[in-house]
Amino acid sequence: MKKDCLVLGIESSCDETSAAVVRNGRDMLSNIISSQINLHKKYGGVVPEIASRKHIEMIDICIQEALEQANVTLDDIDIVGATYGPGLAGALLVGLSSAKAIAYASGKIFVGVNHIEGHICADFLAHKDLVPPFVCLVVSGGHTNIVYVNDYGKFEIMGRTRDDAAGEAFDKVARSIGLGYPGGPLIDKLAKEGNRHAISFPRASFNDGSLDFSFSGVKTAVLNYINKAKMKKIEINKADIAASFQEAVIDVLVDNTLSVLEFRKSDKIVIAGGVAANSRLRERFTDECSKRGIKAYFPPIVLCTDNAAMVASAAYYEYLNGNISDMYLNANPSLKIGER
């Protein structure tokens, strides 16, 4: 293989169709993202059938644009990488099949990528100095994990959610107070006008010593609070609910991640996934890390949510680890982090 390694990354696990070209796992030459948010908004969440159809419409356009913007042709590409799980089966199949078809027809190496591992790699694109080992909180609409990243592509799960993902809780609470979809950014914005100490919502922890999360309790507590207020005909303060709920979720995310940091005696915290875009979460981690004289790493907002550049980066490191996929690789909607 020539000195530089160019990866064409493809992502279609949920409601973003995306293609990107990344050099040597770190340099983003292009990252084209076609978001379907406006299509799903009126249903209050992602409709899988609509998502798959839109992916089919957009995938070739995104790939073409990603190559053009990177100023390369398919001939220059060494590896084609695509998300094969977790995610929506029909949506995953669109990107995965396109990637396999391109790799097969052009004789390129094909690498299937775990979407959650992709999220972690967003930080490799954003921070050229970032190298493992480190503690990473991956927090998105579908996943909430604390992992210890031993090396590129080598993960140890230190904590995970036992029910809802944090982003899912943001989306559900947003819907219950009449905000749109996706709820995370809207709660983030509204919370700035509210009092985070106004309402005491529960912070779940487990007495078995684990650093797992549970967000269904806080979500139910918000719903109960709203229902009680309705019954008593008391007007709710949405900004206070948003701020207090957000603080409850962030408290456990920060506390558990810091516990892992201490346990592993690590000096780096890396945050990834859609919820890493949250301004209060960023503020809290930045404060806690500066108190400890260590650094908190976040991706820029565009790399927090789903994108193909992170998938291309992950494909590069999987390739270096010898993990090349064949044409029989199927979509795996419930793939876990660290699984292949």
Rule CB under 6 A: say whether 117 interacts with ligand KG4: no
Query: Using CB distances below 5 to 8 A depending on partner kind, what does residue 184 bind out of ligand KG4, Zn ion, none?
Result: ligand KG4
The residues in 207-246 that bind Zn ion, with binding defined as CB under 5 A, are none
Range in contact with Zn ion (rule: CB under 5 A) among 104-112, 190-198, 209-217, 306-314 = 306-314
Rule CB under 6 A: say whether 183 interacts with ligand KG4: yes
Nearer to ligand KG4, 103 or 253 (CB): 253
Looking at 18, 98, 256, 305, which residue binds ligand KG4 (CB under 6 A)? Answer: 305
Which helix (H) or strand (E) covers residue 34, if one does? strand 27-35
Query: Using CB distances below 5 to 8 A depending on partner kind, what does residue 194 bind out of Zn ion, ligand KG4, none?
Result: none
Rule CB under 6 A: say whether 278 interacts with ligand KG4: yes
Rule CB under 6 A: say whether 171 interacts with ligand KG4: yes
Asked whether the beta carbons of 103 and 109 are under 8 A apart, the reply is yes
Range in contact with ligand KG4 (rule: CB under 6 A) among 44-52, 195-203, 271-279, 328-336 = 271-279
Nearer to Zn ion, 116 or 190 (CB): 116
Contacts of 41 (CB under 8 A, 6+ apart): 180, 181
Instruction: Put the strands of the sheet holding 134-139 in their side by side order.
Output: 154-160, 144-151, 134-139, 268-272, 295-297
Residue from 87, 85, 102, 90 nearest 8 by CA: 102
Burial class (CB in 10 A: 0-12, 13-18, 19+), 224: exposed
The length of the chain, given as a count of residues: 340
Q: Rounded to whole angstroms, how far apart are CA atoms 313 and 301?
A: 17
Looking at 17, 18, 31, 140, which residue binds Zn ion (CB under 5 A)? Answer: 140
The residues in 135-154 that bind ligand KG4, with binding defined as CB under 6 A, are 140-142
Q: Rounded to whole angstroms, how far apart are CA atoms 183 and 292?
A: 32
Tokens of 103: 């790799």
Q: Rounded to whole angstroms, how far apart are CA atoms 8 and 30?
A: 10
Nearer to Zn ion, 171 or 247 (CB): 171
Binding site for Zn ion (CB under 5 A): 140, 306
Binding site for ligand KG4 (CB under 6 A): 14, 140-142, 167, 170-171, 182-185, 188, 273-275, 277-278, 305-306
